[in-house]
Amino acid sequence: MATKASTIGLAQKFTQLINLEAAGVQLEADIKQLKKTAPKNLESPLTLADAETLILHHKEVKKSRLELKENEKAIKEAKSVLEELLKVLDGKDVLIPANGVNYLLSFSNGKLKYRMVFIAAEQQEKV
């Protein structure tokens, strides 16, 4: 049987995972946008201002990619912790509120699975 502490830990870690995944999606969008805004049609030879612009743009893309890698690593770690917590819960499905939405978590075939679920307001008070 799940303890209240393990369920609270699970909810906190799952909320962290959801936030990390959202941040990863945003970082990927930022990188795509940076690629679109790359300086183009620069004259040859480059002026000092053009060279500085290119260097700053390259640094920004590199920084975003590094943040994305760190984010992916954090997601992997969060999933690993969640999987361990779910194993403690004897493989039972768990309803977790995260960021104002309810999620049903399960652990099957060695993988963490989750999906959003909608509960009527009168039933939600019982959960």
Q: What is the pLDDT of residues 6-53, one digit of tens each?
A: 566 777 888 888 888 888 889 898 888 888 887 776 667 778 888 888
The percentage of residues in the chain with a pLDDT greater than 70, rounded to a whole number, is 80
The alpha carbon torsion through 16, 22, 23, 29 (nearest 10 deg) reads: 170
What's the domain count of the chain? 1
Range of the domain at 59: 4-124
Q: Which of 101, 80, 105 is nearest to 92 (CA)?
A: 105
Q: pTM of whole model > 0.95? A: no
Q: Higher-confidence residue: 122 or 40?
A: 40
Q: Is the preceding omega at residue 45 within 30 degrees of 0, hence cis?
A: yes
State the Cα–Cα distance between residues 82 and 123, nearest whole angstrom: 26
